[in-house]
Chains A and B, each alone.
Chain A
């Protein structure tokens, strides 16, 4: 593993199903983030974690939950998916100096 790994890369999901997007980093960064990216809109922060054991809500947290049991893993769960959650999801981590973000390759989710 080098950097940030997300899984799955793509998924089609029926509305109402539960889905967890996985994110793992090997850079030992304290801060991690989940963003969604939709056409014509900037990246929008869903949830974040400044350090293992803590999480916080971003701009668009409704319908999503996260956990941060350790430094490396930061899964995002959709408890009951809805079509408006169709999007590309990016996990990111940041170093402490400038706050530069390092992104995973993204997970494209389609909810039907």
Chain B
């Protein structure tokens, strides 16, 4: 079966750095997405990785290793507004998105 694994919940301190991991086992791979979802709101796009390596976008970076079936989202200089759930999703061989259950990130002052 297809599976996406992420930690259920993480806690970090304002101003610090946090890394959210995602491992996947899917039938084929055509890209990996990270989305942010604040409580009661819709998911919003953060990043897309299709090749191995690190993609940096401001305070957020996303890393992909296809050989290891692994990605992480790195958030720097954490702000209270970064408290949200972070969703990892993989596009499989049929170009369908398989979603992880999400990681709830709690930021403490």
Q: Give the B-binding residues of A (Cβ under 8 A).
A: 40-45, 58, 90, 98-106
Query: Interface on chain A toward B: helix, strand, loop, or mixed SS?
Result: loop
Q: Enumerate chain A residues within 8 angstroms of B35, measured Cβ to Cβ.
A: 101
> What is the minimal beta-carbon distance from A58 to any residue of chain B, in angstroms?
8
B91's partner among A42, A58, A99, A104 (CB-CB below 8 A) is A99
6 new A-B contacts, CB < 8 A, other than A45-B96, A100-B45, are A42-B100, A42-B102, A43-B87, A98-B31, A100-B48, A101-B33
In the complex, are the beta carbons of A44 and B44 less than 8 A apart? no
- Is B75's beta carbon under 8 Å from chain A? no
Is B107 among interface residues, defined by CB-CB distance under 8 A? no
- Which residues of chain A have C-beta atoms less than 8 A from B95's C-beta? 99
Residue tally, chain B, CB below 8 Å to A:
22
Tell me the minimal C-beta distance from A33 to chain B in angstroms.
Answer: 8
Minimum C-beta distance from B47 to chain A (A): 10
Residue of A nearest to B33 (CB): A100
Q: Is B99 an interface residue (CB 8 A)?
A: yes
Write the nearest CB–CB distance from B90 to chain A, whole angstroms. Answer: 11
* A92 → B minimal CB distance (Å): 8
What are the residues of chain A within 8 A of B45 when measuring CB–CB? 100-102
Min CB gap B29→A, angstroms: 13
Residues 19-63 of chain B: 1 if any A CB is under 8 Å from the residue's CB, otherwise 0?
000000000000101010000011111001010000000000000
B99 (CB) vs chain A CBs: closest residue: A42
For B96, give the chain A residue with the smallest CB separation.
A45
B42–A104 CB distance below 8 A: yes
